[in-house]
Amino acid sequence: MKIAIGSDHAGFKLKEEIKKFLKEKGIEVVDFGTHSEDRVDYPDYAIPLAESVARGEEDFGILICGTGIGMSIAANKVKGIRASLVSDVYSAHSAREHNNANILCMGGRVLGVELAKEITNAWLNASFMGGRHERRINKISEYEQK
Ligand code: RB5
């Protein structure tokens, strides 16, 4: 599995923790930055990462800003992206199972490191259930194609 990860300054510290966590699991990680806590603009990280995931270069993406909100708004502008802002374990696996979400967004100023790791783990271990959920996602994709 190959995962793209990115953050702004407010998500930088959590990004580094999650990157380490993924690498320890033997997962290949592509880091889209940022690389310090110097102030930056989240769309500059969300959009290139989301485009890369939409092209199929990575299996999934993880985006972290202060709240995760800006990252999710920006990433969801990219065709084919279903970015989910998650703060709890139930939503983490549901986002994969029901929504076939391909980007996980988290808030570096919202979540503790251990909860963020549990969320990441729940996301990684879940898979899309298809069926009625697929029909719903197809309706979103059809709208996107208009
Ligand atoms: C940066 O201060 C903050 O606005 C950003 O990280 C994010 O939370 C936006 O949604």
Q: Is 105 one of the annotated active-site residues of the chain?
A: no
**Catalytic pick among 9, 35, 98, 105:** 98
| Whole-structure pTM value | 0.98
Give the closest residue (by CA) to ligand 1 atom 8: 66
pLDDT tens digit sequence for 26-82 = 999 999 999 999 999 999 999 999 999 999 999 999 999 999 999 999 999 999 999
Domain boundaries, the chain: 2-144
Q: Is the dihedral of CA 95, 96, 102, 104 positive or negative?
A: positive
Fold of 2-144: Ribose 5-phosphate Isomerase B; Chain: A, (3.40.1400)
Q: Is 70 in the pocket of ligand 1 (CB under 6 A)?
A: yes
Whether a cis peptide bond, with omega within 30° of 0, leads into 120 is no
Q: Is 65 one of the annotated active-site residues of the chain?
A: yes
pLDDT tens digit sequence for 77-130 = 999 999 999 999 999 999 999 999 999 999 999 999 999 999 999 999 999 999
